[in-house]
Amino acid sequence: MANSTDPSDLSYLVTLKTIQETLKHDTPLEESLNTLLKTLARDMEYVRAFMVIMDPKTENLKLSLTYSPAQVDDITYSPGRGIIGRVFDSGKSITVPRLSDDPEFLNKAFGRSEEELKKLGFICVPVINHRAEEKEVIGALSVDVPLIPADDLAAHCQFLEVVAGIIAGHVAQLQEEMATQNHLLSQCMMSGGMDAPPPKDFVAASKAMRMVLRQTHQVAPSRATALLRGESGTGKELLAEAIHIASPRADKPLIKLNCAALPSELIESELFGHQKGAFTGAFQTKRGLFEVADQGTLFLDEIGELSLDAQAKVLRAIQEKEIQRVGSEQTITVDVRLICATHQPLEELLEKGLFREDLYYRINVFPIFIPPLRERREDILPLAEYFLSDFTEEYGKEVKRISTPAIELLIMYHWPGNVRELKNCLERAVLLCEEQVIRTYHLPPTLQSAESSATGTNLSFGESVAKFEQELLVDSLKKTGGNMLQSARDLRVSYRIVNYKVKKYNIEVKKFSQSKKVRKKLEN
């Protein structure tokens, strides 16, 4: 057919047959579609052929597949902008007789020269997924063509629309693979730079906690002192363990001390050790925790509780890498990586003269703030289901899940005790539960009061419909593990509608992946 529309020239039928045969081959989907574009360009004498696919994560169009003599970098297009963006938005094909004559042609890819733009026309057709109840544009197929008459350009446009119809199902499948990969990356299930897998027993579904994890992986390889800040019960000790495990000292000891757990007169002996006879009751020489942690990591929880004398000695240990046991003048060299934690406002202690300024700056090299649970409610359900799984196994129970009303109570509660309180709450519920489902009456009385404040609400018709719509969407996302593309297919609506509703109702999609993994673990 080349660029002719002579009715007797039926070579385009051979091209269509080749395309269909290509898609039948048992080869990876992306490879098949790339071969298809090569066949298209070769048989139809197109200068280049390429395809953009809507990225479910960003909702932009991503240059995903191409056959072109020129190299191309990663390019994205915004819906509604340029020729390709307009085709995607309208769902209608566009032809450009000469590229240099169209000011809307963005020329973002392939680096076409001014001379080339004068010699090429352009055809862009939508790739439409008809699986959904209402058609959904999922991408666009585009070609650069030599300058040809308008009638021939229209004929090639019709031919490409047929090709787009043939490949639409395969493009939808490729888009789903892209969405799945993005989904796994966002849940830290695939290697993604700083988004490395969370440490064991560490649940991080919210954006805030994923940031904490990124900071953890940034500081872990160094010997820098990390200062973990946050309310009691937020998981500072667990985070210290994560830093140690991800550090080069992982095979050395991690020694922990809660500075608030011992009276001030015993803290120095615990940290630095003592000589026999140094004080009443010192019947033998004892190594301090700095010595025990040599070559490893020392975690000082609630460092704000240290006395000023102990603070001075800790500072010396950090600066000089030397300590002295209580009652001894001999110095001992130690190599310890220090991680500190506090729930206190150290800056206020500085102003009151209760904390040394020089020590403050020494330990505040890399501060990490862990937000309270009430400020990251996306973590409540994944944490609850994790604890449910843990305690079900520990106590030999057959509890399978948490009821929806109980989940609502958990999410509504303000959790002054943070993750520690949530853990205790689930342990109590598992012990009380004699069935397969945690009910509201298995939860502590403090949570029951939250239920009464949420009842008796009169909803308007519109609010009731919206609530029902939201529940349908949440149920679907639970089943699909947060896969919005699959939910769109199950609900027989377009991906765009699902995405719009998710944003409208402020639904945190990522938490459903965490909860699905926990449910699978329970079922197994």
Transcribe 7-42 into DSSP letters: TT--HHHHHHHHHHHHHHSSS-HHHHHHHHHHHHHH
* Sign of the torsion angle spanned by Cα atoms 53, 56, 60, 62: negative
Question: Could you tell me if residue 192 is inside a domain?
Answer: no
> Could you tell me where the beta strands, DSSP code E, fall in 176-285?
226-229, 254-258, 273-274
Q: Do 155 and 224 share a structural domain?
A: no
What is the 8-class DSSP label of residue 64? E
Closest CA to 62 of 14, 127, 123, 121: 127
**CATH of residue 415:** 1.10.8.60
Weakest mean pLDDT among 281-285, 440-444, 452-456: 452-456
Rounded (10°) CA dihedral 415, 505, 464, 402 = -40
* Sign of the torsion angle spanned by Cα atoms 37, 43, 44, 48: positive
Residues 409-421 have pLDDT tens digits of 898 888 999 999 9
CA gap 119, 228 in Å, rounded: 62
Question: Could you tell me if residue 191 is inside a domain?
Answer: no
Residue with tokens 């991408």: 139
User: Which SS3 state, helix, strand or coil, does residue 82 take?
Assistant: helix
Full residue range of the structural domain in which residue 66 is found: 11-186
Integer-rounded Cα radius of gyration of the chain: 32
422 pLDDT more than 90: yes
Question: Could you tell me if residue 504 is inside a domain?
Answer: yes
Higher per-residue confidence, 55 vs 118: 118
Residue with tokens 């947060």: 482
Weakest mean pLDDT among 77-91, 110-124, 179-193, 423-437: 179-193
Contact 213, 228 (CB under 8 A): no
Residue with tokens 């129970």: 397
Q: Do 317 and 246 share a structural domain?
A: yes
Question: Could you tell me if residue 312 is inside a domain?
Answer: yes
Q: Do 518 and 389 share a structural domain?
A: yes
pTM: 0.51
Q: Do 310 and 212 share a structural domain?
A: yes
Q: Do 224 and 108 share a structural domain?
A: no
- Domain end: 318, 339, 371, which one? 371
CA gap 292, 253 in Å, rounded: 8
- Domain end: 371, 403, 434, which one? 371
What is the structure's pLDDT at 189? 36
Q: Do 364 and 221 share a structural domain?
A: yes
The token duo for 244 is 């140690």
Residues 210-232 have pLDDT tens digits of 888 888 888 999 889 999 999 99
Transcribe 360-414 into DSSP letters: HHHH-SEEEE---GGG-GGGHHHHHHHHHHHHHHHTT----EE-HHHHHHHHHS-
The token duo for 72 is 């191309």
What is the structure's pLDDT at 32? 76
Q: Do 124 and 93 share a structural domain?
A: yes
CA gap 228, 200 in Å, rounded: 19
User: Which SS3 state, helix, strand or coil, does residue 294 take?
Assistant: coil
- Residue 89: how many CB atoms within 10 A of its CB? 14
Count of domains for the chain = 3
Q: Do 77 and 15 share a structural domain?
A: yes
**CATH of residue 160:** 3.30.450.40
Question: Could you tell me if residue 198 is inside a domain?
Answer: no
- Domain end: 371, 398, 424, which one? 371
With b for 16 or more beta-carbon neighbours within 10 A and e for fewer, the 376-402 pattern comes to bbbbbbbbbbbbbbbbbeeeebebebb
Question: Could you tell me if residue 200 is inside a domain?
Answer: no
507 pLDDT more than 90: no
Residues 352-381 have pLDDT tens digits of 999 999 999 999 989 999 999 988 888 898
CA distances from residue 92 to 162, 215, 515 in whole angstroms, order as listed: 13, 46, 41
Q: Do 83 and 32 share a structural domain?
A: yes
Q: What are the helix and strand counts (H, E) for the chain?
A: 20, 17
Q: Do 389 and 242 share a structural domain?
A: no
CA gap 93, 51 in Å, rounded: 14
Q: Do 413 and 367 share a structural domain?
A: no
The token duo for 9 is 């020239």
Residues 308-326 have pLDDT tens digits of 988 998 999 988 888 888 8
First to last CA, the chain: 58
Strand 331-333 to strand 322-324: parallel, antiparallel, or no bridges (unpaired)? antiparallel
What is the structure's pLDDT at 99? 92
Q: Do 357 and 222 share a structural domain?
A: yes
Question: Could you tell me if residue 473 is inside a domain?
Answer: yes
Strand 273-274 to strand 286-287: parallel, antiparallel, or no bridges (unpaired)? antiparallel
**CATH of residue 341:** 3.40.50.300
* Mean per-residue pLDDT, 396-401: 90
Question: Could you tell me if residue 196 is inside a domain?
Answer: no
